[in-house]
Structure 1
């Protein structure tokens, strides 16, 4: 029976590959004119969504760009959008159709997304069907996917004529083992895999037995923000993020108890929404920090709120590439952050443009916050360094890296790619041999 099953599976694979070859023969030539970006929930709130909008806006200057969202669960986007960018939603959960097939499939668990994927519960058989149909409908252009489940689906389903780019916003090491195993064998099918950090790039190089055609690190760019740089005269420390345990705001509130003892005139503002909101509010009350710790909720204008602060703090357990740090740097705030190797450690140079704190150490976090609060010279020094660092993440500088990647992938498809010649090593400087006293001419 097992041998029969293996033969059946092998026959299905051959049929599938044959179908792909026929589709590719009829496909238009490779092109970068159209760019499609797959995302889970375009109208939601989160760093990935904000960075996708930012990238789409840059690419829309020279490409036909569409953001393809698996879900639609809000009437309007949380973040502002560029009118040049199109949107498509595969599963409109606000206005579901009365289709009985949809109703039936929506109650059944996904078979396309691995159960260990963190967003698995958001998918079902209906989204599987819609996603598979969409990916299979593309025969040219570029498709970029932005999370492991969608990357794995794209690797399985995309036609060979489509240029595929997997983009990872979360570190490989934080993925469940089952997801990592799938990544090892499917990601090799991509034209390119783009990571946000050098540390994650190293991890993928070490982990993938066979590599995509291109493994590259392209960080996120600073998004457009309202207002000017902070004046650093407000006695406000700000934190921004989804209110989950992963973001460590419960640790930040514990650390703030120490800060409030000596600096009751300073305020901690934590912007965001999420499942931990009520727990955090109760923690503030229990610690007697009412009026000293504020939870104003989510904000659509991060720039305006950063401008009103002097210090930005990040208390996450781990991060991929936290956009909030980049935004705070661009606003000229002093940064205090737990030291995560796949994000803050690469973005922050300790004592130059921020302070790095040993992870999960509430006392150390409190000590670093007290340093920047009490030492105005240090605060302004870190803020000036942060502004300089932010300039290296300018949208045009980062966008140029995407332009270069597109050009390279198209050249690879067209057979015109020429591997860059590494620079020749500098000629060795040969020191003259010391004179042999025995052969020296006799003195005059």
Structure 2
């Protein structure tokens, strides 16, 4: 039975590849005029969504940009987005209708997304169908995906006339082994793979059996924010992020017990929401930190909240390239962060534009925060260094890197297209 299934799958693959070869012969000239960016849930509030919106706004200066959201689970985007950017939703779960096929397929697990992908539970056979139909419907332009499951789907399904780009917002080393195995073989079909950090770029260079034509590092850019630079006179430290275990907010609260004992007039505010929110609230109550640690919930105006603080704290176990550190730098805060691999370690120069805490213990985190509280000159020096560092991540600086990548990919595709057209021309008769 398994042998028969394998033969059936091989036949489908041969049929699929043959169709692509035929489609390649009639594909229009390559173009970057239209750019489509795949997101899991464009109306969510994660860092990936915020940075994609920021990038989309820049690209809209020269391109038609559409954000394609696999899911729609909220009426409006949480983050502001450039009005020139359009949206499409593949699975509108707010208004599912009464389609019996949809109802049936939505109950069946995804076969397109690997089970080990962290968002696997958000997909099902209906989203597989909608995603595959969308990808296969394209003839030209650029299709960019923003997480491993979507990158793998694009690499597998994109028609030959589409320029494909995979973006990685999470370090390769943190991916489950089965996902890494798929990445090794499928990512070579992409035209480009973009990482956020130099460390992750090296990991991909060392891991991929055959790399995409372009394997480059382009970090996130600082998004536009309201308000002014912090005056550094508020006795407030902030942290921002989705309330999941990996963000380490439980460790930050434990560290703040020590901080509060030494400096009871200082306050910690943790902005965000997520599955750990109730646990964190309970931890605050049990530690007697009410009034000293606050959970105000998510905020759409990060800039205003950063402006009202003096210290930004990052307590994550792992980070790709955290937008919140960039935002805190651009607001001139003194940053204290665990020396997490990739992101914080690469973004912060210790003692110059932030403090990197190593070993990553709660006691060391508390000691670093207390040091910044008690040494005002250090606090202001770190903040000044952070402001200077943020200039390197200005949207126009980072945007130019994306402009160059798109231009390079188009040049390569145009040359290949001309060769294919020339090869299809009948040979001229030999003069006698």
Query: TM-score, with normalisation over the residues of structure 1?
Result: 0.92
Partner of 1:147: 147
Deviation at 1:339, TM superposition (A): 0.6
Deviation at 1:7, TM superposition (A): 4.8
Deviation at 1:23, TM superposition (A): 1.7
Deviation at 1:25, TM superposition (A): 2.0
Residue pair 1:24, 1:139 contacting (<8 A) in 2 also: no
Residue pair 1:136, 1:159 contacting (<8 A) in 2 also: yes
Partner of 2:33: 33
Partner of 1:284: 284
In 2, the alpha carbon distance for the partners of 1:314 and 1:224 equals: 21
Residue pair 2:339, 2:360 contacting (<8 A) in 1 also: no
In 2, the alpha carbon distance for the partners of 1:10 and 1:102 equals: 28
In 1, the alpha carbon distance for the partners of 2:16 and 2:71 equals: 28
Partner of 1:118: 118
Q: Is 1:334 the counterpart of 2:338 in the alignment?
A: no
Q: Is 1:220 the counterpart of 2:217 in the alignment?
A: no
Partner of 2:425: none
Partner of 1:407: 407
Residue pair 2:140, 2:162 contacting (<8 A) in 1 also: yes
Deviation at 1:258, TM superposition (A): 0.6
Deviation at 1:360, TM superposition (A): 3.6
Q: Is 1:45 the counterpart of 2:13 in the alignment?
A: no
Partner of 1:72: 72
Task: Tell which deviates more after alignment, 262-271 or 4-13.
Answer: 4-13
In 1, the alpha carbon distance for the partners of 2:284 and 2:12 equals: 59
- The SS at the match of 1:238 is strand
In 1, the alpha carbon distance for the partners of 2:165 and 2:412 equals: 14
- The SS at the match of 1:405 is helix
Partner of 2:367: 367
- Runs of 5+ in structure 2 lacking a partner? 418-432
Aligned residues: 417
Partner of 2:175: 175
- Runs of 5+ in structure 1 lacking a partner? 418-444
Residue pair 2:67, 2:85 contacting (<8 A) in 1 also: yes
In 1, the alpha carbon distance for the partners of 2:341 and 2:29 equals: 41
- The SS at the match of 2:270 is strand
Larger Rg: 1
Residue pair 1:199, 1:342 contacting (<8 A) in 2 also: yes
Deviation at 1:8, TM superposition (A): 4.2
In 2, the alpha carbon distance for the partners of 1:157 and 1:259 equals: 52
Deviation at 1:26, TM superposition (A): 2.1
- The SS at the match of 1:101 is helix
Partner of 2:379: 379
Deviation at 1:10, TM superposition (A): 3.4
In 2, the alpha carbon distance for the partners of 1:203 and 1:288 equals: 44
Residue pair 1:56, 1:65 contacting (<8 A) in 2 also: yes
- The SS at the match of 1:392 is helix
Q: How does 1:416-431 map to 2 (within 5 A)?
A: none
- The SS at the match of 1:166 is strand
Partner of 1:241: 241
Residue pair 1:317, 1:359 contacting (<8 A) in 2 also: no
- The SS at the match of 1:274 is coil
Q: Is 1:12 the counterpart of 2:12 in the alignment?
A: yes
In 1, the alpha carbon distance for the partners of 2:331 and 2:399 equals: 21
Residues 203-254 of structure 1, C-alpha deviation per residue, up to 9 Å, x if partnerless?
Answer: 0000001110010000000000000100000000000001111100100011
- The SS at the match of 2:291 is coil
Partner of 2:423: none
Task: Tell which deviates more after alignment, 351-360 or 408-417.
Answer: 408-417
Deviation at 1:2, TM superposition (A): 6.8
Deviation at 1:14, TM superposition (A): 2.0
Q: Is 1:24 the counterpart of 2:24 in the alignment?
A: yes
In 2, the alpha carbon distance for the partners of 1:10 and 1:175 equals: 28
Deviation at 1:340, TM superposition (A): 1.2
Residue pair 1:251, 1:360 contacting (<8 A) in 2 also: no
Residue pair 1:309, 1:333 contacting (<8 A) in 2 also: yes
- The SS at the match of 1:129 is helix
Q: What root-mean-square deviation, in Å, do the aligned CA atoms of Structure 1 and Structure 2 show? A: 1.3
Deviation at 1:409, TM superposition (A): 0.4
- The SS at the match of 1:37 is strand
In 2, the alpha carbon distance for the partners of 1:78 and 1:3 equals: 49
The 1:152/1:323 distance shift into structure 2, 3 A limit, reads same
In 2, the alpha carbon distance for the partners of 1:84 and 1:35 equals: 12
Query: TM-score, with normalisation over the residues of structure 2?
Result: 0.95
Deviation at 1:3, TM superposition (A): 6.4
In 2, the alpha carbon distance for the partners of 1:349 and 1:360 equals: 17
Deviation at 1:268, TM superposition (A): 0.4
Partner of 1:424: none
Deviation at 1:42, TM superposition (A): 0.2
In 2, the alpha carbon distance for the partners of 1:158 and 1:98 equals: 30
Q: How does 1:86-235 map to 2 (within 5 A)?
A: 86-235=86-235
